[in-house]
C-alpha cells in the first residue's frame, strides 16, 4: 500500500476513485497504514502536497525499488 501514493501523488488520497483505482480495501485501511508509518517517523505528509513522502532512507529505497520492479515477484 506504500507504493500507490508514491506512484500517483494526490491531495485526495482518501477519495473513493483513488482508493478503488489502486485496489485499496477502504479509506480506513489506507489511513491506518499511513498512520503506522507517520507515527514512528517513516513518512511525512506535507500540507503543501498532501501526498506521503518517505523520510526514512531505507523505506525510500524500498519504495523506489518496488516502483522500478526490483525485488518484486513475477
Q: Which of 22, 16, 21 is nearest to 2 (CA)?
A: 22
Q: How far apart are CA 50 and CA 34, in angstroms?
A: 12
- Radius of gyration of the chain measured on its C-alpha atoms: 12
Taking a C-beta distance cutoff of 8 angstroms, is the pair 51, 5 a contact? yes
* pTM tops 0.75: no
Domain ranges in the chain are 3-66
What is the full per-residue pLDDT of the chain (74 aa) written as tens digits? 556 666 677 778 888 888 888 888 877 888 888 889 888 988 888 877 777 888 899 988 888 887 777 765 54
Amino acid at each position: 500500500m506504500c507504493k500507490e501514493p508514491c506512484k500517483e501523488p494526490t491531495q485526495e488520497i482518501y477519495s473513493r476513485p483513488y482508493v478503488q483505482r489502486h485496489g485499496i480495501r477502504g479509506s480506513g485501511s489506507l489511513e491506518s497504514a499511513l498512520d503506522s508509518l507517520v507515527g514512528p517517523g517513516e513518512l511525512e505528509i506535507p500540507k503543501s502536497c498532501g501526498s506521503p513522502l518517505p523520510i526514512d532512507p531505507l523505506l525510500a529505497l524500498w519504495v523506489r525499488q518496488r516502483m522500478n520492479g526490483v525485488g518484486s515477484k513475477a
